[in-house]
């Protein structure tokens, strides 16, 4: 196993904004329960690893399958949220390139909102190592619907700050597939929405983005000011206590070839 440093935007941003991550990040659609059962084979008697588990947003869904769940998360501030809120999961320190588990020991590995951070040959080799024969790797992302004008405007506000931070929409995570020892990548998509106050589902959601969370306070305040100005200027958002942000949940999976 090799040890790969955590990207600076992830280590600084997620450590600083674990609370914003909890408040601002969307959950997952109801259809994810069937996906975990049918695509990844999770049920009572199986073992799943939630890799890059963050604060445990997706770990909850794994627990609902009845599987034994191991949440692997390198950022201690985020891991502390799992330990506090989900004691039924085994939370441990680790990275995608160094998963603290034996060879062939788990039925499934999931990476929710995380695989783009560690989409490397080393990480896939390590995931392949810990999976049992015919074990499954599942990748999950919630993606905002940028065909909506004000959502596209959100992206325009934050994109100048992203630097070299990996993101799903850059698509570079796909470059590691196909990978020897896994089947071809397969995809399912589900409609989703994030409902709540504008402050949570827009402002705190953006503040929880790694490269925004890692900004100096004055720069972060500038971004927050732009977000609140956008809310105030958008009829679908201004003055509303509750809004709904349209998303799609993109899921992908591969199976370990025995």
DSSP code, position 74 = S
Average pLDDT over residues 236-245: 97
* Residue 52 backbone dihedrals phi, psi, to 5 degrees: 70, 50
Q: What's the confidence (pLDDT) of residue 18? A: 53
The helices-and-strands tally (H runs, E runs) of the chain is 11, 7
Give the structural domain span for 177: 8-145+164-195+245-255
pLDDT digits (tens, 9 = 90+) for 57-116: 999 999 999 999 999 999 999 999 999 999 999 999 999 999 999 999 999 999 999 999
Of all helices (H) and strands (E), which one includes residue 23? helix 18-24
Q: What's the confidence (pLDDT) of residue 254? A: 98
pLDDT digits (tens, 9 = 90+) for 134-183: 999 999 999 999 999 999 999 999 999 999 989 999 999 999 999 999 99
Confirm whether 220 is domain-assigned.
no
Confirm whether 138 is domain-assigned.
yes
Q: What's the confidence (pLDDT) of residue 196? A: 95
Query: For the residues of 95-126, what is the DSSP string, one character each?
Result: BTTB-SS-TT-EEEEEEES-GGGS-SHHHHHH
Average pLDDT over residues 26-49: 97
For the entire predicted model, the pTM comes to 0.89
Beginning with the edge strand found earlier in the chain, give each strand of the sheet holding 131-144 in spatial order: 90-92, 68-72, 47-51, 106-112, 131-144, 243-255, 186-196
pLDDT at 17 over 90: no
Confirm whether 251 is domain-assigned.
yes
Confirm whether 61 is domain-assigned.
yes
pLDDT at 15 over 60: no
Confirm whether 210 is domain-assigned.
no
pLDDT at 8 over 60: no
Of all helices (H) and strands (E), which one includes residue 72? strand 68-72
Q: What's the confidence (pLDDT) of residue 20? A: 60
Confirm whether 207 is domain-assigned.
no
Positive or negative CA dihedral for 59, 11, 130, 258?
positive
Q: What's the confidence (pLDDT) of residue 25? A: 77
What's the total number of domains in the chain? Answer: 1
Assign residue 83 the CATH number of its domain: 3.40.50.150
For residue 41 the two structure tokens come to: 């084979």
Confirm whether 239 is domain-assigned.
no
Confirm whether 98 is domain-assigned.
yes
């Amino acid at each position: 196993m090799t040890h790969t440093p955590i990207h600076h935007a992830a280590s600084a941003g997620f450590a600083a904004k674990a609370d914003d991550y909890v408040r601002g990040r969307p959950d997952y659609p109801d259809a994810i329960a069937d996906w975990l059962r049918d695509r990844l084979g999770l049920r009572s008697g199986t073992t799943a690893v939630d890799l890059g588990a963050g604060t445990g947003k997706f770990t909850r869904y794994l627990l609902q399958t009845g599987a034994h769940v191991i949440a692997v998360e390198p950022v201690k501030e985020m891991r502390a949220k799992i330990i506090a809120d989900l004691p039924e999961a085994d939370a441990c320190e680790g990275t995608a390139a160094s998963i603290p588990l034996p060879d062939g020991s788990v039925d499934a590995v999931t990476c929710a909102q995380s695989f783009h951070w560690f989409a490397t040959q080393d990480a896939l080799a390590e995931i392949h190592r810990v999976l049992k024969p015919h074990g499954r790797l599942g990748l999950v992302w919630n993606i905002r619907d940028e065909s909506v004008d004000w959502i596209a405007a959100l992206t325009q506000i934050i994109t100048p700050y992203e630097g070299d931070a990996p993101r799903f929409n850059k698509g570079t995570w796909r470059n590691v597939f196909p990978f020897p020892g896994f089947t071809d990548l397969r995809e399912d998509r589900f409609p989703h929405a994030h409902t709540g106050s504008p402050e949570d589902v827009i402002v705190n959601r953006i503040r929880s983005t790694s490269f925004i969370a890692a900004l100096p306070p004055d720069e972060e305040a500038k971004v927050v000011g732009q977000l609140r100005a956008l809310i105030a200027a958008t009829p679908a958002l201004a003055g509303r206590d509750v809004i709904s942000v349209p998303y799609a949940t993109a899921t992908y999976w591969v199976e370990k070839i025995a």
